[in-house]
Amino acid sequence: MKAVFILCFNAAQRLKEEKKEERRRRELERKRLRDEERRKWREEERRKRKEAEKMKRPEKQPEKDKDHAKEEPKIKVRAAVN
């Protein structure tokens, strides 16, 4: 009788451990999926911000226009009167 009780107890313990392990696996899988979704969301948000910043920034002028814009004013030199 004692042996039967011990076998049943061991079987019950094993089932309990298996359930715990299965629950832990499910939780880990849920966490992994949640983390993956968050990562995708962050990447999407980062991409949207970069695109918005590009739209805000004026386009760079071509080199010719830059040089033209930076042209220094001409300085007039007066002849010294003696």
Amino acid at 16: K
pLDDT of 67 above 70: no
Residues 6 or more apart in contact with residue 69 via CB below 8 angstroms: 61
DSSP-derived letter for residue 79 is: P
8 Å CB contact between 26 and 18? no
Q: Which of 45-49, 63-67, 78-82 has the lowest mean pLDDT?
A: 63-67
**What integer pLDDT is reported at residue 55 of this predicted model?**
86
More confidently predicted of 73 and 45: 45
Residues 6 or more apart in contact with residue 61 via CB below 8 angstroms: 69
Q: Tell me the C-alpha to C-alpha distance, in Å, between residue 34 and each of 1, 26, 42.
A: 50, 12, 12
Tell me the per-residue pLDDT of 1-59, one tens digit each, with 9 for 90 and over.
566 667 677 888 999 999 999 999 999 999 999 999 999 999 999 999 999 988 887 66
